[in-house]
Amino acid sequence: MDGKMKQELLDVFASKLNQSVRMYMDNCARCGACIEACHVYASSPETRYTAVGRAQNLRRLFEKYHKYSGKIAPWLGEAVELDDNWMKKVYETAFTCTGCRRCMTYCPFGIDTQQFQAMAKAMLIAADMEPKVLSMLADVSVAKGENIEATKANFAEACRQLEAEVIQKWQQEAGKETIPLDVKGAHVLYVALAGKHSIIPAAAIMNAAGENWSLSYFEAVNFGAFVGNPVVTKNIAQRIIDEANRLGVREVAICECGTAYRVMRHMTGTHDFKVITFLQLIERYLRDGRIKVNKAVNNGRTTYHDPCQIARNGGVYEAPRYILSRLTDDYVDTNPTKSANWCCGGGGGLVVVGDKDFRMMSAKVKADQVRATGAKVLATGCENCHSQLSDVNEHYQLGMSVEFVSSMAANALVR
């Protein structure tokens, strides 16, 4: 690394040193409470995969460049120089962390380890060292948003081709659109992922509830958040905000995608509309009697994996459990559960970045946990988790059926 690049990276590091990060840098007591909280360490004890171990790289740099003690006695705080070796180490620790924040819930000081990872990712982006697949997917999303007018007709045609499959689950009344698009004054704007699995069950459920809804032209997924680029994250989220404002909707319901929900609900400020997960919408329909479901359709003991970005980082625990209680009499929670639930090991873009061996190794504790429930059905409410858990199911030969909560509800709809 040349001197110019080194200075640029140190400037990025300094720009992220806000009040809370400075406090987190100084306040770690090295108590170790976060160590066993990390599923990576719990699955394969290696100290570099602990929250404190990951953060230590950043602390050493802080010591070197921002502390008087680091300048006069660098050995005391284990201060280190910024160099290529440091960047490599930080790449490994940043992009093996799923951002699940389980470590934070166990830290007596509430140190938000993700603020360290955000610094690390900002420096990796500045050095052009981030996983290129994530940046590329984020760029594709941005470009698609910029050219949305040119793609609307094709998208509408693709939706028309899904109508028969929606009707198979719920016969829509004559004269009503099966997958409505661009509905001004709709109560709900539903934001899906690419792929019919994210559209068909949701459409059937909202049609069964008699909802006044509209499907968004935009995809929910936010690769800007995965790669750790706040500007791109905001750009991708803003398109949905603009669409919701243009249509004048009351609520934006985000499909089963944890990161998309967390970004829209907790990272974009306040709006004239509410942001909810689609799980919360299904729960409301069931509680209000707007949809009915048949328990006989979903067979076998069922458990639920809390997606970190919907549960621990998003605050939604009860909606999926209520839905499942209406779908089966044989529901069993995992142990631990809710805010202490283990991460699936696939978040933070890890499912996309690759290295399946690492993902499977770090998911051992998750596999053991769900196996212990004796469940035959493993339900979840996030695309990322669903992909990872499907791989975990196969790798650890769990013999379970991995399901989206929305698909289970749509398959069980009754008149």
CB 228 within 8 A of CB 259: no
Q: Is 32 in the site for ligand SF4 (CB under 6 A)?
A: yes
Rounded to 10°, the helix 132-146/148-160 angle is: 90
| Window of 23-31, 267-275, 349-357, 373-381 that interacts with ligand SF4 by CB under 6 A | 23-31
Judged by CB under 6 A, does residue 363 bind ligand SF4? no
Per-residue contact track with ligand SF4, 105 to 144, x per CB under 6 A?
--x-x-x-x-------------------------------
User: How many other CB atoms sit within 10 Å of the CB of residue 294?
Assistant: 12
Write out the E strands in 266-368. Answer: 274-277, 292-293, 302-305
Least gap, CB of 150 to ligand SF4 (angstroms): 39
262 binds ligand SF4 (CB under 6 A): no
> In angstroms, what is the minimal distance from the CB of 259 to ligand SF4?
13
Candidates 2, 19, 30, 176; binder of ligand SF4 (CB under 6 A) is 30
Helix (H, G, I), strand (E, B) or coil at 253: strand
Piece in contact with ligand SF4 (CB under 6 A), picked from 66-74, 99-107, 173-181, 383-391: 99-107
Angular region, 393: left φ>0, alpha ψ -120 to 50, beta rest: alpha
Query: Is residue 99 a contact residue for ligand SF4 (CB under 6 A)?
Result: yes
Binding segment toward ligand SF4, per CB under 6 A, in 4-12, 51-59, 279-287, 396-404: 51-59
Tokens describing residue 216: 């968004």
Token readout for 331 is 């529901």
Contact 200, 410 (CB under 8 A): yes
* Residue 350 interacting with ligand SF4 (CB under 6 A): no
For ligand SF4, the closer CB: 52 or 377: 52
User: For residues 169 and 366, which CB has a smaller minimum distance to ligand SF4 in the complex?
Assistant: 366
Considering only CA atoms, which of 239, 202, 208 is closest in space to residue 222? 239
The encoded tokens of residue 52 equal: 């404190």
* Residue 72 C-alpha from the chain's centroid: 43
Query: What residues line the site for ligand SF4 (CB under 6 A)?
Result: 28-34, 37-38, 40, 51-52, 54, 97-103, 107, 109, 111, 113, 343
